[in-house]
């Protein structure tokens, strides 16, 4: 596969993910979350929390963290700020970006299963993502995203037993871990540039979920 074909594959996948999220589900109603509570759940470092002001919106605070190059804290916070399905979709886009155009054809079966769930978050696809992660048996970013999808809702117990609700914090933690690993898995010296690129993609998704939340108001 040539570079242009691989690039087209990555762009097409990104459009499919974004299009599927927009077309196949209504945006969830956003709760007026307390930003400080969100930061606590995201387990931000003290340096990041010291920058927080009561009047800030999540987007404004994220922009500040990015400007201060507190990228890991920004990744943690963004993973919690996005609705779970959107957060997993963001992680998928980051993984594809990290592979580069030459390696876009090497997307794993696990990653394909996760993207299928993002596009169509059915129970069948949620369980399939978990099965793919179990089969791969690694701690790759795609495996973490598969587990993020699995823990996003439904029951985490076997389907033949009484439902067991997943803990609410697990999905964003898996997503944040996947995004962080994707930045350093190859060419770790370029991690800061990758962090910026990943966060830019995530902020674009956040703007779709929370329109009118730019830094200007």
Its domain, for residue 110, covers 12-24+33-209
Is it the case that residue 45 has pLDDT exceeding 50? yes
Flag whether 180 is in a domain.
yes
The pTM (predicted TM-score) of the whole model is 0.82
Of the candidates 157, 189, 151, 190, the one whose C-alpha atom is nearest the C-alpha of residue 171 is: 151
Flag whether 41 is in a domain.
yes
Distances (CA, A) of 172 to 1, 23, 91, 101, 179: 34, 23, 10, 27, 11
Flag whether 130 is in a domain.
yes
Flag whether 215 is in a domain.
no
- Give 97-124 pLDDT, tens digit per residue: 887 755 556 789 999 999 999 999 999 9
Is it the case that residue 203 has pLDDT exceeding 60? yes
Flag whether 155 is in a domain.
yes
């Amino acid at each position: 596969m040539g570079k242009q074909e691989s690039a087209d594959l990555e762009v097409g996948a990104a459009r499919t993910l974004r299009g599927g999220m927009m077309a196949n589900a209504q945006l969830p109603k956003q709760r007026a979350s307390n930003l400080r509570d969100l930061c606590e759940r995201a387990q931000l470092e003290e340096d990041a929390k010291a920058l927080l002001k009561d009047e800030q919106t999540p987007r404004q605070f994220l922009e500040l963290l990015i400007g201060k190059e507190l990228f890991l804290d920004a990744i943690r916070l963004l993973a919690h700020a996005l609705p779970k399905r959107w957060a997993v979709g963001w992680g998928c886009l980051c993984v594809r970006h990290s592979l580069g155009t030459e390696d876009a054809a090497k997307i794993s079966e696990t990653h394909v299963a996760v993207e299928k769930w993002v596009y169509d978050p059915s129970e069948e696809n949620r369980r399939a993502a978990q099965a793919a992660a179990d089969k791969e048996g690694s701690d790759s970013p795609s495996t973490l995203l598969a587990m993020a999808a699995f823990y996003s809702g439904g029951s985490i117990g076997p389907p033949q037993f009484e439902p067991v609700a997943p803990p609410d914090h697990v999905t964003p933690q898996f997503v944040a871990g996947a995004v962080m690993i994707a930045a350093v898995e190859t060419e770790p010296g370029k991690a800061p540039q990758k962090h910026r690129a990943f966060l830019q993609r995530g902020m674009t998704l956040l703007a779709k979920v929370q329109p009118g939340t730019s830094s200007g108001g």
